[in-house]
Structure 1
Amino acid sequence: MLTSSQWQLLETASLNTLNLRPEHIADIAAHSDATLLSNTQLVEFLQVCNCLYRGGEPLITDLAYDHVFLAELEKRQPEHPYLNSVEPEVTFAGKTVLLPEKMLSTEKTYSADGIEKWLTRLEKAAEDIGIDIASLHFKATPKLDGYAAYDDGTLLYTRGDGKKGTDISRVFERGLIVAGNGLRGQGAGEIVISLRYFASHLADNFDNARNFQASIIKEKDLGAHALEAIQNHAAVFFPFAQLPSWQGCAADLKTNLADIMTQTLSSVDYDVDGVVFEVTNDALKNHLGATRHHHRWQIAYKSNIETATVTVLSVTPQTSRSGRVNPVAELEPTRLSGALISRATAHHYGMVKEQGIGVGTVIELTRSGQVIPKIERVLKPKTPQIPEHCPSCGSTLVWDSDYLYCLNTTQCPSQIENSIEHFFRVLANNDGFGGKTIQKLHAAGVSSVYAIYQLTLEDLTGMGFGEKTAQNLLAQRQLSQSLAIEDWRFLGAFGIHRMGLGNCERLLQHYRLADIFQLTAPQIMAIEGFADKTAAAVVACLAKINNDFQRIYQLGFNLTRTPFLTEQQQNHSPIAGKIIVFTGTMLHGKRDAMSQQAKRLGAKVATSVTGKTDFLVTGMDVGAAKIAAASAKGVQVISEEDYLALLR
């Protein structure tokens, strides 16, 4: 069956009135047989799959969409309008506006033979207009698998239907940055999330990066995960013009295609699902033109996502530091995309229960390039393998929505060890306290961060550590106290529920670290970015960790205090209450530092100019069009020097 979030996407796109029933849609996806569908059913199923994919809740793989269902429609009705138009995106909150230029889809191929045929067409077209084939120049860039958007320097639009998109400029106002040179107005690009950040911060809460990217755009009030990703610059708008690229001639492209693909696919830390090739000769591009669907001078060689039918050997529960027990499917060893895969995440036990994942379950496993393997769908369900007790401490588990939790927070070994490891990892000013070391310490009776700070050289050697290793651990522990760290990072190291590093910094802009344990939920709610549920959770968690925090805090750490956003600062600041946008390359400091200073002085820093903007502060390399557009809105445009003089 479709999930509730998938069905909600279909309702938003007005596709819930189709003839296909939810159970029929799920059945078609499970069997991947397009030949049994009528023409109407086939088109409707394609519409459903496109909607769910672009909404971050994919139903089938790209490969199945293109090679099974889209190919069947091309065979039956090659002139069908669906094949000759840009697949529409889910409508997000915001006004629909005409795009500055059309954003077409890209022609796709899944084979080297497809690239050869495309090159042959280009070479023939070049001959037709008298261009020397040897002079043709080609470019290859990674095909980002994010949310397509267009930035004209003033507004940011979704791709929509290729002609009209939705104004989502709010994502820049929330702090989203532009990757590359950081400048607005570079045209088409994609909103993406760092793969490493997703794996370390988001994988437990989102099924895939696309699912998370949707939350950045469509939520009116950003969730804590989305806000923190934006603040950490892990989520960005990446203009295509800033992408790393391979460049060369047709002969090089043909000879080194495999190497070019490998090099380009690994050139960015974002989800990619292929490589985009294009010819750069303007005369040839103009001659080739475009269909209503794609440019003829460009093609995407999509990663051939490998799939395998695999049997589940068992489902292993793993307890995290928060007490959530996550299921990991142990699989028959299977080679996919050059790697031997024996495990895959099942996301949560709600999925295990609903889809019947247990011993003997047959699944379809997918992996593309370096992407983590995932369970694409269950082919033959079996009795779900769901634990009743925590695998670490044996406590009875409890359900909370789709998740299982161990509530034995003070004695569960996994929660204790993961929490200690989290503390030292977030401080990020020391090395040595990794998982293996902490396991050994815990086995010897060390069960808290505070206890680690009480250990002596004799204690460590008595636990089985060599003298040199023990001395190194003590030295690293001393570094964790002596090296300067921000007080919000120190607070974040305690792993407070709903308190990522961004929220920790926001809280300490209003209250001193020593005073936050007396705060009430209404006081926290008064701070921008804290909703009622978050505030209540923060108060409860602060009370829970108070004793441990105070003992560790009093050991003495070199903490850099977060500057307050005080009324006194704001009242004496010439930019208090003003909305400021910084653009261009600054000579007297980085834009991030200038933004932080402006916020401390009571200003609101935005990333795009609107009619409400008070100052556009310009550095070097700012286009005249951007300045003219700001002036037309009544915005005061000042140079970096004038801005600094204003502050003085």
Structure 2
Amino acid sequence: MTNEQYQEKIQLLKKWAHAYYVEDNPVATDDEYDRLYHEVLDYEIENPSNVAEDSPTKRVGGVVRGEFSKAKHIKRMWSMEDVFNTDEVQEWLDRTVKNVGECVYFCEPKFDGASMNLLYENGKLVRAITRGDGVIGEEVTDNVRTIRSVPLTIDYKGQIEIRGEVVIRKDDFEIINKERLEKGEQVFANPRNAAAGSLRQLDSSVTAKRRLVFYPWGLGENSLTQTKLSQKMDFVYTLGFLEPPHVQECHNIEEIEAFYQDLIALRHEIPMMMDGMVIKVDEVSKQEDLGYTVKVPKWMCAYKFPAVEKVTKVNDITLQVGRTGVITPVAEVEPVEVDGAIISRATLHNFDEIERKGLMIGDSIILIRSGDVIPKITKVLDDRRDGSERAIARPTACPTCQSELLDEGTLIKCQNLDCPDRVVNSIIHFAKKGCMNIDGLGSKIVEILVKEHKIEDILGLYHLKFEDLEGMEGFKEKRIQNLLDAIAHTKGAPLYRLLSAMGIEHIGEVASKSLALEFGLGVVDATFEEVVALDGIGEEMANSLLEFMRVNHDFVLKLFDVIQPQVEEKVEAEENPFKNKTVVLTGSMSVSRGVVKEMLEKLGAKVSGSVSKKTDYVVYGDDAGSKLTKAESLGVKTLREEEMRKML
């Protein structure tokens, strides 16, 4: 076979694969495809230097990684604002029209999978990155190359980020779970988990067997000149990508609602899991005019499908011990499928809720699940009781360490600081984002470290050595070093973050900032009178802090000694209209609200999240909502952002 013949056969294989995987219209038999595929493979084995970049043989996987590296999106991948009913859609439309006038809306199904960003340069797929936090995700290019509906090359030479959803068809999901059951492996809870789990396989040949599908829904970095998003997406489809099974141009709430109801009716016919419909302003110039909030684009929203309810039975109650020792009851229910997910547990929050609902073991109940919301029990069907039901007793001993529990009414607590569950959960809280942000220290790793007696508390993290982790299952050299580096990187963190990370009940980030600024490292010896005198800290918070410091006094001092937290100097703000005032921010401003909040705090203001009679000012921007309405009803002074800046 000549190289020219080899190239021709590759193009024919690509044509057949596209017809099969993308157009769902096979133009060759499996036997024909397999014979041609092996002809190409034989040539490549004999001529490894001539292997084409876009050869179909590149899709079988075989790359094995030790771990995934982080990669940055060129343009941020945003999440979406959720709306749940016609009134909320109308509010979203009203805000949109108020800002940019009448719009045409591009509507399509919202598939329930794993969001993916594909970067193409000079016509080649160079990187595939999971959504992550929207700025940085995990680089999974080797795995995505195995997805047949992702072109390895496209007929476009510019740099372009194509965003979409990696999904598994429902029938393929059933096949995968059947295979896992036969192998004695744990089944996936739903197609979305299966898609995400398949993308995170360290061996890409495993991903190749998982029948993943990629549906594009948007763009990041691009220089396409079309004036509408729908036109840009039409161009993307011509590059060899899958089109969604249904799309609709809508002009008003009536057309949007009609298409939404059509999609709900088609919910069980469409082979992929859907959890709603996406509504987007189609004109790119109006998208740019609308812009973004801190979290979401103002030009798109997800109109979620109604919650799904099912009747099932409560088989038992299990108890979970949190980091603060609070015991949370969880209902173990007869497994039931709710919108594609097998549900076997439901949260109950506390024992007061059990008593309020009148729940008994053996009761038939109505279970509700909507989108990503944790399943919960909405109603006890007590008319279905047959006398075999059993009352649920309030526990008196910790299920983990058997210590006597403190029953405070609403809350029941284990007070044993050495309780293994408390230790694990306190370390997980300590390491999470917003606290000490120790990258790579997930819940599973914490459980292993505690179980293997490598650490016994938070302080133990800072005494870990390379040799402590060497040889443990899943801990390779690079992973160990990355974890130790991440722990070391937390030294010198701001004091307020350390206080927040300690998991003191009722003491969150805002209270931690006040305490750190007022007392510095002396917070361990602060008195009740000193703490309760701080604005925003009540008696319950003060008692919680003092009790924590009394029990953990020496431990906290050791943490301070090891971490050497950065203590912010308390600088008295100069006189200004906002000094010692309570301010609430609402609406979209010229900069993010976080920037405005920081500016006001430096001026000596206390920025609160809720409006009350004690609020001095509500500063608002565009699309201000209920906080502005409440301020007006309470007679609180309101200021537009421009007025606030003039006052300064």
TM-score calculated relative to the size of structure 2: 0.47
